[in-house]
Structure 1
């Protein structure tokens, strides 16, 4: 996200810098270079050369306007070709300028104009790159001047002042453009930090909401049970009280498992409940069929609640099955107990089936999935879970 912000900011900044440079370049090209060209046609030795050079610069300017206003990087090969064309046009025009008009006259319009082409094409590369091209251009121009005529000290000083003032101003613009583009990194970093803060605030609020909801659920079920045990109104030797404690312990363990990072949340939460039953002396077998699915949390709770209630009432053995195939998810348990007080499903579409056979009870919760959820990218927890089993019959087997 932060990188996208940086790219977007850089693109907008580059678009503004190029737009400003192109406005200056178009203004000078039409308002300064064209009058200088037309006014000096009689002074040039071969007037067609400056005219052809001006036409070439016009084509380069038009291409730069079309390619540069969207803020995207220049097409590959455009900058070298445009700079080469600018250099050739400037040198060709300079070769036709009278020696006493170098740098100081409007007849020598190509020198300053070539510098602004450099700013537009290389300004995003910084002052060093732009200065290298401007320095090479200045050196070639001075060489052309010296091959024709060596100016006097006063004229040379005037020429040097004019050339350096134009070049320094153009390099200053290039340096400012580079600094502005470099600021996009700091802006992107600030936006990333702001996004992280917002994410942390949203996560903290969600965690706080979940914690309040969980505490409300615990207050409704666990707190009365603990209060009764503490006050003595509930007898720990009573089978009903022990069953209620086992059920709430399984629900608490499932509640803790809901926040774990796991590849298969449904099976992971089911294993947490199985661990509670094994600690109570029940031997549990778990069978899993089908690919993992990331079901919504309310749906997982509704599927596991009836199974957890039956598992908490198990005596010596229990067999848990999780089957996922087609468009259905089924969670069932077979226990050696006769309990028929099971919680009602808390989600629409959950079907609970109970079957009594001799001394065993089958409880199955099933739901139909209209859209198959995507697999989670969370890693699968190790088997067995991290918590140990302390009960004598705490061995777990899988089939």
Structure 2
């Protein structure tokens, strides 16, 4: 979201931010047009007659003409850029430099004794052009107006001219320009407040959406555990579980591995599949099982449901009696997880689309492969 405090947003950017910012952007745009009309009216309605009536007092009439033409060109270019909402970036500063150059040409092409008289036509014009270019940057516009006024007074004082008359002119000119600048600043503050309120509202909505997703995720996990883990825990608590039975211990080990996998799903890691596999392997190693985990190739991260199906062979291998070998082979086309372990064959996972599961039994050792293709 782009606030008007930085730059004036285009209509498309404001549209993404909401109706209040659309209104603010349009108001600022029309305020710029109004400032441009005032600048053109001042240039041609006031400055041009003064320029034509005082040609004799100019030390360089061509400088005056060049300054006038330069301001006209700035007005035309600025008007075109405002029309397409592109008055920003380097174009703004190039035009501002041209305005400053026009001011320099006008004030250095006149006799010193007329610098504070009406023959110096540019003083009341330059500020309006700066307003057009810097209206969305209130501090920069105010700084330019102050700097232009200070430079004008300093130039007159250095040339030995009485600056008392300029005080009245400066008060009139700044008195007309300041309300426009104050209006732009107020408009920007309103837009900033609207943008901040909208950001706060979006943050609340995001927090609510995250909380809802977390709640749904917890419900889904409970549903996954309700059919298998919960009955085992109930038998464990009421003492009906025969832990001396190897098959019963294998059931509990597989469910423990599934829990570890579920916990690992919440971790923010570069490779979720490998991280969840390692969580299951760690449980087997804690039981004293010799487990080898090898990987080959690189793979894209499969969806959560696919990862769960791919990890099922490793969950089953956690209940191995003595040893297990886990191999992960990946490519851009898919991932294959294969496990060789001396675990109960009837506990080996079944195929779940889109994961294909292959099983082979060789005595006490069982080979299970889960393959997924994109």
The TM-score range, normalised by the shorter chain, is 0.7 to 0.9
Structure-2 change in CA distance of 1:353 and 1:9 (3 Å): same
Please name the residue that 2:269 is paired with.
262
SS of match in other structure, 2:346: coil
What is the CA distance between 1:134 and its match in structure 2? 2.1
Residue by residue over 1:7-66, the C-alpha shift from the partner in whole angstroms, topping out at 9 and shown as x without a partner, is: 796233788657524533434533774366448845653797666654343223223323
The residue that corresponds to 1:297 in the other structure is 304
* Separation in 1, partners of 2:106, 2:26: 27
Structure 1: segments with no counterpart, 5+ residues? 370-399
* Structure whose CA Rg is larger: 1
- In structure 2, stretches of 5+ residues that fail to align are 10-23
**Using a 3 Å threshold, how does the CA distance of structure 1 residues 8 and 354 change in structure 2: closer, same or farther?**
farther
Contact 1:254 1:272 in 2 (8 A): yes
Alignment equivalent of 1:5, drawn from 2, 7, 10: 2
| Whole-angstrom CA distance in 2 between matches of 1:326 and 1:354 | 24
Higher mean alpha-carbon deviation, 219-228 vs 13-22, is at 13-22
Aligned counterpart, 2:16: none
Paired residues of 2:47 and 2:122 also in contact (CA < 8 A) = no
For residues 261 and 247 of structure 2, what CA distance do their matches in structure 1 show?
Answer: 21
- Give the corresponding residue for 1:372: none
Contact map agreement 1:236 1:242 (CA 8 A) in 2: yes
| Residue in 2 that maps onto 1:78 | 95
Alignment check: 8 A CA contact 1:134 1:167 kept: no
SS at match of 2:298: coil
Which stretch of structure 1 is more off in the superposition, 171-180 or 289-298?
Answer: 171-180
Deviation at 1:327, TM superposition (A): 2.7
> Which residue pairs with 2:18 in the alignment?
none
| TM-score where L is the length of structure 2 | 0.76
Q: CA deviation at 1:219?
A: 1.3
Name the counterpart of 1:242.
249
Equivalent residue for 2:106?
A: 89
Q: Which secondary structure state, in structure 2, belongs to the residue aligned with residue 10 of structure 1? A: coil
RMSD: 3.9
Task: Please show how residues 279-358 of structure 1 align to structure 2 within 5 Å.
Answer: 279-291=286-298, 293-309=300-316, 311-325=317-331, 327-348=333-354, 350-358=355-363
Change (3 A) 1:134 1:303: same
Deviation at 1:71, TM superposition (A): 3.4
Q: Does structure 2 conserve the Cα–Cα contact (< 8 Å) formed by 1:115 and 1:170?
A: yes
Q: Specify which of 164, 168, 176 is matched with residue 171 of structure 2.
A: 164
| Structure 1 contact 18–120 (Cα < 8 Å) conserved | no
Cα shift at 1:210? 0.8
Offset, 1:215: 1.0
Query: Residue 130 in 1 paired to residue 152 in 2?
Result: no
Partner of 1:392: none
Match of 1:112 among 124, 139, 144: 124
Distance 1:276 1:188 in 2: 50
Instruction: Tell me which of 23, 26, 31 is aligned to 1:20.
Output: 31
**Partner residue in 2 for 1:58:** 72
Distance 1:121 1:20 in 2: 11
Displacement of 1:315: 1.5
- Secondary structure of the residue aligned to 2:2 is helix
In the alignment, which residue of structure 2 is the partner of 1:211? 218
Give the corresponding residue for 2:373: 368
DSSP-derived class of the 1:340 partner: helix
Bigger drift between 249-258 and 52-61 goes to: 52-61
Residue correspondences, number: 351
Residue of structure 2 equivalent to 1:271? 278
The alignment's TM-score, normalised by the length of structure 1, stands at: 0.72
Aligned-pair CA distance for 1:234: 3.7
Q: What is the CA distance between 1:276 and its match in structure 2?
A: 2.4
Once the two structures are superposed, residues 132-161 of structure 1 have per-residue CA deviations (whole angstroms, 9 ceiling, x without a partner) of 1123224546788x76xx79xxxx67x743
